[in-house]
Amino acid sequence: MHINPNLFIIARPPNQIVWNYKTHTQYELNIHYAKRLSELINNPNSFDADASMDAEFLASGIISTSKQTTPTWKWDELSKIFHIGTKDIPCEHEPQDIEEWSVHYLEHCNEILKKPAPDFLSEKCSPLDLIPLPPPLLTGSLEMPLAQSLISRKTCRSFTEDEICLSHASTLLYLSLGYLKEREQDADETIPETLRSRRSSPSGGGLNACDGFIYARRIKGLSPGIYRYHPDHHALSLARPLPAKPLGLLLAGQHFINTLPFGVFLTCRFDKLWWKYEHSRAYRMAYVETGHISQTFQLIATALGLKTWLTGAMADERIEDLLGLKNSPEQVLFFVGCGKGDAEAHCEELRALIKERSAQH
């Protein structure tokens, strides 16, 4: 007999949940079942087909007569559970043609719209607290050809203390996170009003689940601080003063970034995703969406003649404290920033150290 290799066990006092993450099935075991399962894990051959508990374990696939193969997984157990657990979208009935798909999709959307919707506006903010941004530059200084911007984008780790101008920050925010006025005609009346906003990047389910908090350290015409960006108004509201501690302490000790004048903490509203996609696979999409926004930000910054940097290495809890997102369904996922610099991939200190070490050998 063989214990299913795709199980993990969660404590839910007074019981245990045995979760088969491959088939997305869960069983709640009381102390008696939990004890028997422990015995079977310890010695699968103690299985007794005539014992009712053992028969239930067999019927549920927790134990089986044949050994199941598992993929060669050259990563840790948690990533394996998440990856395998979110493979294959649960689908009760797979549409067999386009007509069937259309009916099915429309029904699905109508079902969702019957549910209470999450708050679609970014955090409520009095109009008096909104700080309007200047109009974005949509021509002129952004006229670098796309191919040139793609070729020139590079991760830089050496920034100067130079400030950036507010119109560049405004352009970066509008073109990466803003709801584009220019696309308002794209969404017709068949689309519910809350889902009509469009960005330059695609968005899972059109939900615009991602948002941004601005790290403004040196922007000409804007007081230093942490601001929430309101994509519907193309405006900011002050969230927190700029932390006294350097940015590097929020970003896994990467102190070469302390002089960065401007950045965006990209967040995701998980409640929006869950509203439309009630399965864990949508978590993958949160990062995919963030990646689109981050790349767009970097291409615009490059076209504006700025150097870019990005990271997913974060002291999440410190950032949650800073942004006021403790225990919130909105969570921070990524950081992207830009400023002026010498385009070096490494900071001066690391370059000097590398030089010194190589001179020693």
Ligand X SMILES: Cc1cc2nc3c(=O)[nH]c(=O)nc-3n(C[C@H](O)[C@H](O)[C@H](O)COP(=O)(O)O)c2cc1C
Which of 159, 174 has the CB closer to ligand X?
159
Instruction: Considering only residues 244 through 283, tell me which ones interact with ligand X, judged by CB under 6 A.
Output: 254
Whether residue 159 contacts residue 339, with contact meaning beta carbons closer than 8 Å, is answered with: yes
Whether residue 342 contacts residue 265, with contact meaning beta carbons closer than 8 Å, is answered with: no
Which of 24, 292 has the CB closer to ligand X?
292
Contacts of 285 (CB under 8 A, 6+ apart): 204, 273, 277
Of the candidate residues 6, 86, 311, 331, the single one contacting ligand X (CB under 6 A): 311
Q: CB of residue 154 vs ligand X: minimum separation in angstroms?
A: 4
Q: CB of residue 322 vs ligand X: minimum separation in angstroms?
A: 18
Side-chain half-sphere exposure of 272, counting CA atoms within 13 A: 22
Return the range that interacts with ligand X (CB under 6 A); candidates 168-176, 205-213, 304-312, 346-354.
304-312
Which of 141, 311 has the CB closer to ligand X?
311
Q: CB of residue 312 vs ligand X: minimum separation in angstroms?
A: 4
Contacts of 283 (CB under 8 A, 6+ apart): 82, 86, 270, 273
* Cβ burial, residue 121 (10 Å; 0-12/13-18/19+): exposed
Q: Could you tell me the CA-to-CA distances from 32 to 3, 15, 16, 35, 143 in Å, in that order?
A: 18, 10, 11, 5, 70
Q: Please give the full DSSP string across 273-311, using - where no structure is assigned.
A: HHHH--STTHHHHHHHHHHHHHHHHHHHHHHTT-EEEEE
Instruction: Considering only residues 136 through 155, tell me which ones interact with ligand X, judged by CB under 6 A.
Output: 154-155
Of the candidate residues 157, 168, 198, 272, the single one contacting ligand X (CB under 6 A): 157
Q: CB of residue 151 vs ligand X: minimum separation in angstroms?
A: 11
Q: CB of residue 311 vs ligand X: minimum separation in angstroms?
A: 3
**Phi, psi (deg, nearest 5) at residue 255:** -70, -10
Q: Please report whether residue 313 would count as binding ligand X according to CB under 6 A.
A: yes
Count of residues that interact with ligand X, criterion CB under 6 A:
8
Which of 122, 259 has the CB closer to ligand X?
259
* Cβ burial, residue 354 (10 Å; 0-12/13-18/19+): exposed
Q: CB of residue 175 vs ligand X: minimum separation in angstroms?
A: 20
Which of 7, 177 has the CB closer to ligand X?
177
Which of 133, 268 has the CB closer to ligand X?
268
Which of 122, 294 has the CB closer to ligand X?
294
Residue ranges that bind ligand X, judged by CB under 6 A: 154-155, 157, 254, 310-313
